[in-house]
Structure 1
Amino acid sequence: MSSTSDRPTGRPRTIDPDAVSLVALRLFDEQGFDAVSMDDVAAAAGVSRRSLFRLFPNKAALVWGGLEEFTTRFGDALRQRPASESSPDALRAAYRIGATFPDDAVEVTRHRLRVIRANPSLERVGDAAVTSLTDEIIRFVAERDGASADDLGVAVRAHALAAAASAALTWWALNGDGRPEDVVDRALALLD
């Protein structure tokens, strides 16, 4: 007969979602997104299936988890740009800050972007977040330039900047050249 003193005491082990996400993204990148199951991720990360699903309701959530941090950094940086700065300069500066990932997030970001690129169906999962970000850029450009958000020029500039930044980050993930913020900055400079 076992006593209650045989059970572990104290708080249950805390699971680091970023560490679990990195394990999953490495697996997806190496073996293919469709070839890796949530059970495979749980086993490789050393967590229970139940804990994994509590943190990430599906495989796509393991991939798209970092977009919120980028969006927050970018949005905060955009709102802090001086009013005297032109919209292209303000957006370039905000994108540079948004794409400046903390050192411990660079590998995760690289794997995330590689997995999204290799699996076009995942792009649709992130469409709402990307559209929201683009809408924020459109509002910013319209306000900064004293134009309507319905103006064709505003929409084209906003979408061109968003597409260039996205293309730059994907290129960086695939080619491994330098820091992501430097690559985004170089890409946006090409639009000038």
Structure 2
Amino acid sequence: MQPATKRGRPQEADPRQIARVALGLFERHGFDRVTMGEIAEAASVSRRTLFRLFPSKSDLVWDGLDEVRDLVRQRAATLARADLRVAGVLREFAEPFLRRLDDPEAAELARKRLRLLAAAPALLDHPPLREIEALIATTMAGRTPSGDTPPTLVARTLVAATFAALMWWAEHGEGMSALAATRAALGALAPTDET
């Protein structure tokens, strides 16, 4: 007698696990050399499921960024009238996420992503990241030290400096937290700002 086969809806795919599998492939073979088909096969999901969860390869690298963007949106709404400078932006927007990297497993995953970003800088042009910049710029509108500096310029510079500090941390920051590396870098760039 043949064993009964299960029918019905297939087991739900774990997006976090799929992203981890993809990061491993990107790390071993390079971002540009890995295809979505190879990722689907390695993650044991159909191509259809993979594309439903991650419409592009860059979405696999940025897994979780939509959640960050949503939280930044909430913070920006509550800080609309706050007088934020560099240290304030770091404290209000980046610290909650950087503190999560105190967990060794989260830190290792972040280091993998950051090393990948350093090797493929085009990945930094990702729509949710640009939305985060715009939210920060909106929060800073009219509050830049010189008053005539475009808030979008300040926001993009802060995000770029933060990523540069984090990329350094990914490569050289053993024994230092992501938050400490970012604070040190931004503090060196804006030493007269609040700390």
TM-score (norm 1): 0.77
Q: Distance in 1 between matches of 2:77 and 2:145?
A: 16
Q: Which stretch shows the higher mean deviation, 32-41 or 103-112?
A: 103-112
Q: In 2 relative to 1, CA 145–120 (structure 1 residues): closer, same or farther, beyond 3 Å? A: closer
1:109 aligned residue: 110
2:12 aligned residue: 14
In the alignment, structure 2 segments of 5+ residues that lack a partner are none
| Contact 1:134-1:158 at 8 Å conserved across structures | yes
Amino acid at match of 1:138: A
Whether 1:169 aligns to 2:159 is no
Aligned length: 186
The within-5 A match list for 1:143-162 is: 143-144=142-143, 151-152=148-149, 154-162=151-159
Q: In 2 relative to 1, CA 182–48 (structure 1 residues): closer, same or farther, beyond 3 Å? A: same
- Offset at residue 136 of structure 1 (A): 2.0
| Contact 1:96-1:184 at 8 Å conserved across structures | no
Q: In 2 relative to 1, CA 45–135 (structure 1 residues): closer, same or farther, beyond 3 Å? A: same
Q: Distance in 1 between matches of 2:183 and 2:71?
A: 15
| Residue-by-residue CA offset, 1:149-175 (whole Å, 9 max, x unaligned) | xx2264554333222112112212223
Q: Distance in 2 between matches of 1:174 and 1:17?
A: 26
Which residue of 22, 25, 42 maps to 2:40? 42
| Contact 2:72-2:135 at 8 Å conserved across structures | no
| Residue-by-residue CA offset, 1:19-38 (whole Å, 9 max, x unaligned) | 10011011101211122222
| Residue-by-residue CA offset, 1:70-90 (whole Å, 9 max, x unaligned) | 333444445555966643332
In percent, how many aligned pairs have the same letter?
A: 34
Amino acid at match of 2:129: V
In the alignment, structure 1 segments of 5+ residues that lack a partner are none
Q: Distance in 1 between matches of 2:44 and 2:76?
A: 39
| Contact 1:27-1:36 at 8 Å conserved across structures | yes
| Contact 1:73-1:98 at 8 Å conserved across structures | no
* Runs of 4+ displaced beyond 6 Å: none
